[in-house]
Amino acid sequence: MIIYNVTINIEESINKDWLSWMQKTHIPKVMKTGIFVSAKMTRVMVEEQMGGITYSIQYLCESKSKLDEYQVQFAP
């Protein structure tokens, strides 16, 4: 199994809207590609110098070739 990890820092002023978009739109759209078997989003407990709130989104897939397929066909 392979974990595809995306880490992002979000301004506090848009945090609620961004979280809603991720949970209701983006993650379901990524999962509909059929590439990943699960997704998990967590808050990273770190204080960034630039401020904001940091999240890690981890997508689990069966192989590196499946991840390559996602990056070529869907990520752009």
Query: 7 pairs with which residues across the strands?
Result: 56
pLDDT of residue 18: 98
The label of the residue with tokens 């961004």 reads 18
- Are 40 and 7 contacting, i.e. CB atoms less than 8 angstroms apart? no
Q: Which residues of the chain have pLDDT under 70?
A: none
Q: What is the pTM of this model?
A: 0.89
pLDDT at residue 75, as a whole number: 87
d(CA 51, CA 49): 5
pLDDT tens per residue across span 54-66: 999 999 999 999 9
Question: Residue 72 burial by CB count (10 A; 0-12/13-18/19+): exposed, middle or buried?
Answer: exposed
